[in-house]
Amino acid sequence: MRVSLRRASGFLPLMGALLMGSVALSSMIAIAANGISTTSAWMRPAPTGISISAAYLVIGNDGKIGDRLMRVEADFAEKVEVHSMSMDGEVMKMRLVTDGIGIPAENSVELEPGGYHIMLMQIKEPVLSGQKRIIRFVFEKAAEVAVEFTAGHSPAAG
Ligand SMILES: [Cu+2]
């Protein structure tokens, strides 16, 4: 009897905390959805005969909770993947990122040459320098963000 009373008294406050937690969490998700920002979006041109390109940008999160880039979509390419690059001995290797990219709260993640990038394959029409293309980023919490990319060189490189 003493045990069941203890369990009951321990259980109810826990339920209360869980309910309060879920309310707080859902209002925080709305903040995170507004917290995602994208800057410095650019992609490599894909002139006639080249059907592959890479796109780069900086994803910022001003929100109080972390988010995650889940997948990327584009109408102008048949296949769009998130890749990472790393050194395997002396060889630079490209890997498919299958579990997305975490975007920590009040922080930012750079997709840049030599690191994370958006790999665009089987591009349907040439993408010439100066032209713009839309790539859609699907986040775990912020849902979908459409970003305009300009074909050319890295804005950081000038
Ligand atoms: Cu790649």
Domain boundary assignment for the chain: 34-151
pLDDT above 90 as % of the chain: 68
The pLDDT, as a whole number, for residue 17 is 44
DSSP state of 99: S
**Cα of 12 from ligand 1 centre, angstroms:** 51
In this structure, which residues have their CB less than 5 angstroms from ion ligand 1? 83, 94, 119
pLDDT (average), residues 39-58: 96
pLDDT (average), residues 98-118: 96
Identify the CATH number of the domain defined by range 34-151.
2.60.40.1890
d(CA 129, CA 151): 5
Q: Say if CB 135 and CB 99 are below 8 A apart.
A: no
pLDDT (average), residues 6-11: 42
Flag whether pLDDT at 47 surpasses 50.
yes
pLDDT (average), residues 117-130: 98
Q: How confident is the model at residue 88 (pLDDT cuts 50, 70, 90)?
A: confident
Q: How confident is the model at residue 15 (pLDDT cuts 50, 70, 90)?
A: very low
H helices of 36-136, in order, are none
**Cα of 116 from ligand 1 centre, angstroms:** 8
**Cα of 55 from ligand 1 centre, angstroms:** 9
- Which position has the higher pLDDT, 31 or 84? 84
DSSP state of 117: E
